[in-house]
Amino acid sequence: MDIRTEKETALIEAILYLEADPLDEAGLVRISGLSKDVIQKALSNLEGRYAREDSGVELSRIGGGIMISPKKEYWDNLRERYGKKNESKLSKAALETLSIIAYKQPITRSEIEAMRGVSADNMIRLLLEKELIREVGKKDIPGKPVQYGTTREFLKFFRLESIADLPKLSESETERFELNG
């Protein structure tokens, strides 16, 4: 790595360190003033550096963006202390509601309630407050009920690049998501 590349890599590292949210390559280009090719080389350099055993961080690709975060092997031990307060501890009911939304989105409140068998109002309100879900539209049926889907904050919280990275459901889990629905 030449001197110029070292400085550019250091600049990208500093930007990613200072940003609280994942940045896409276009954001890195805008902030740094560097070309897309130089940014890609700097990201590759950082990935190589962070892959070493003496590094506790890695580049995470979350929701189409990139951020520096603790390596997954350390995060479980660190989450309770360093995780955002509003992301800490979700109840079993909140996690169940969130998983239904994540796997079945877009989905309405009544569809969630049909699957859970109980009112979802409080859980939806909580998940909206924590910005883990959002309104994504209205279903084209009488009454035009609101449909919900997950957010970039959801991807960040669960360290997913996209919804496609959700764990695959087993056959019995898939049936449960179809039950009553």
Instruction: Give the pair of three-digit tokens for residue 61.
Output: 């690709």
125 CB contacts (<8 Å, ≥6 apart)?
Answer: none
Domains 3-80 and 85-178 share a fold: yes
> How confident is the model over 131-143, as pLDDT tens digits?
999 999 999 999 9
Place of tokens 């407050």: 129
Measured from the Cβ of residue 107, the count of other Cβ atoms closer than 10 Å reads 24
Which has the minimum average pLDDT: 10-14, 80-84, 158-162? 80-84
Going from N- to C-terminal start, the domains of the chain cover: 3-80, 85-178
Q: What is the pTM of this model?
A: 0.63
> How confident is the model over 24-79, as pLDDT tens digits?
999 999 999 999 999 999 999 999 999 999 999 999 888 888 999 888 888 877 87
Place of tokens 């449960």: 176
Domain 3-80 class? mainly alpha
Indicate the CATH number for domain 85-178.
1.10.10.10
Do the Cβ atoms of 133 and 101 come closer than 8 Å? Answer: yes
What residues form DSSP beta bridges with 65? 62
172 CB contacts (<8 Å, ≥6 apart)?
Answer: none
Instruction: Give the pair of three-digit tokens for residue 143.
Output: 């009454």
Q: What's the rounded Cα separation, in Å, for the pair 152 and 159?
A: 10
* Strands of the sheet with 133-138, listed across from one edge: 107-108, 146-150, 133-138
